[in-house]
Amino acid sequence: SNVSISGNQYAYQYAVYESPLYKDYKPPARDLIQLPRALLYLMMAAVVVVALVKSSRPS
Protein backbone atom coordinates (compact mmCIF):
# COMPACT_ATOMS: atom_id res chain seq x y z
CA SER A 1 0.00 0.00 0.00
CA ASN A 2 3.01 2.29 0.54
CA VAL A 3 3.80 2.20 -3.18
CA SER A 4 0.34 3.45 -4.16
CA ILE A 5 0.47 6.19 -1.51
CA SER A 6 3.84 7.47 -2.75
CA GLY A 7 2.55 7.25 -6.33
CA ASN A 8 -0.45 9.40 -5.44
CA GLN A 9 1.84 11.83 -3.65
CA TYR A 10 4.00 12.23 -6.77
CA ALA A 11 0.89 12.68 -8.93
CA TYR A 12 -0.34 15.38 -6.52
CA GLN A 13 3.03 17.18 -6.54
CA TYR A 14 3.08 17.06 -10.36
CA ALA A 15 -0.42 18.54 -10.47
CA VAL A 16 0.64 21.33 -8.09
CA TYR A 17 3.68 22.21 -10.21
CA GLU A 18 1.50 22.23 -13.35
CA SER A 19 -0.95 24.71 -11.81
CA PRO A 20 -1.18 28.18 -13.45
CA LEU A 21 0.28 29.86 -10.35
CA TYR A 22 3.57 28.00 -10.73
CA LYS A 23 3.63 28.53 -14.50
CA ASP A 24 3.42 32.28 -13.89
CA TYR A 25 6.34 32.08 -11.44
CA LYS A 26 8.65 30.01 -13.66
CA PRO A 27 9.79 32.62 -16.28
CA PRO A 28 11.24 35.15 -13.76
CA ALA A 29 13.01 32.32 -11.93
CA ARG A 30 14.48 31.07 -15.22
CA ASP A 31 15.68 34.60 -16.14
CA LEU A 32 17.23 34.89 -12.68
CA ILE A 33 19.28 31.72 -13.31
CA GLN A 34 20.57 32.75 -16.75
CA LEU A 35 23.09 35.38 -15.61
CA PRO A 36 24.76 33.36 -12.80
CA ARG A 37 24.92 30.33 -15.15
CA ALA A 38 26.67 32.46 -17.80
CA LEU A 39 29.05 33.77 -15.14
CA LEU A 40 29.67 30.20 -13.98
CA TYR A 41 30.58 29.13 -17.53
CA LEU A 42 32.88 32.16 -17.91
CA MET A 43 34.59 31.35 -14.60
CA MET A 44 35.06 27.70 -15.58
CA ALA A 45 36.50 28.77 -18.93
CA ALA A 46 38.90 31.14 -17.14
CA VAL A 47 40.02 28.33 -14.81
CA VAL A 48 40.65 26.04 -17.79
CA VAL A 49 42.65 28.75 -19.59
CA VAL A 50 44.74 29.45 -16.48
CA ALA A 51 45.35 25.72 -15.97
CA LEU A 52 46.42 25.31 -19.61
CA VAL A 53 48.75 28.32 -19.42
CA LYS A 54 50.32 27.06 -16.19
CA SER A 55 50.75 23.51 -17.50
CA SER A 56 52.22 24.63 -20.85
CA ARG A 57 54.73 26.93 -19.12
CA PRO A 58 58.14 25.22 -18.66
CA SER A 59 58.88 24.68 -14.97
pLDDT one-digit tens code per residue, 26-59: 555 555 566 677 888 999 999 999 999 999 987 6
Evaluate the CA torsion angle 10, 11, 12, 18 in order and state its sign: positive
Pick 17 or 50 by higher pLDDT: 50
Residues spanned by the domain of 51: 2-56
Buried b (16+ CB within 10 A) or exposed e, 17-56: eeeeeeeeeeeeeeeeeeeeeeeeeeeeeeeeeeeeeeee
Domains held by the chain: number = 1
pLDDT computed for residue 2 by the predictor:
47
Please give the DSSP secondary-structure letter assigned to residue 52.
H
pTM, full prediction: 0.40
The pLDDT-based confidence of 12 (bands split at 50, 70, 90) is low
Average pLDDT over residues 17-33: 56
